[in-house]
Amino acid sequence: MKTKHAILLSVAVLGMAAIPTAHAGFFFFGGPRVAVVVQAPPPPVVVVTAPAPYYPAPDSTVVVVSQPPAPYAEVIPASPGPAYVWVGGFWNWNNSRWIWVRGHWGSRPYPHAAWVTGHWDNYQGRGYHFVPGHWR
């Protein structure tokens, strides 16, 4: 608003009419046509930095040198129904530490299906790799 008043004042001092009419971002004043462009200051620059996500290729094997912790003793809530099976939790490696992924009740994909829980297995003596859980 200060910019608008300063422009009006400077136009009035120059002897032109001080009654502006706005049109498409320009102010036109009486007398000789003078276009004054009024622009807002640029928005502040916000820089957000985060580590790049790690997505291994589908055919690669992630090997973790540190041994995973012992399985967490989960408290299993009551089943929502007879068609559900407990899908046990597992330790997940997030590139810097182990994080427990809680288990949940899963719906069987077909009658009498059983869930085989995922686990970490020794990988060629170089560390541990995750064997995903699956329906059997």
Q: Spell out the long-range contacts of 127-134 with Cβ–Cβ below 8 A and sequence spacing 24 or more.
A: 127/63, 127/64, 127/65, 127/66, 128/63, 128/64, 128/65, 128/66, 128/67, 128/68, 129/61, 129/62, 129/63, 129/64, 130/62, 130/90, 130/92, 130/93, 133/87, 133/88, 133/90
Strands 115-116 and 90-93: unpaired
Per-residue pLDDT, 126: 86
At 33 the pLDDT is 58
Question: What pLDDT, on a 0 to 100 scale, did the predictor assign at position 124?
Answer: 87
Tokens 């829980």 belong to residue: 117
pLDDT at position 134: 93
Q: Residue 17: what pLDDT?
A: 46
β partners of residue 56: none
Buried b (16+ CB within 10 A) or exposed e, 49-80: eeeeeeeeeeeeeeebeeeeeeeeeeeeeeee
Task: State the 10-residue block means of pLDDT for the chain, 136 residues long.
Answer: 47 46 49 58 56 48 89 91 91 90 92 91 89 92
- HSE on the CB side for 95, CA within 13 Å? 6
Phi, psi of 6, rounded to the nearest 5 degrees: -65, -40
pLDDT score at 18: 44
CA distance 60 to 131: 13
What's the pLDDT score for residue 47?
55
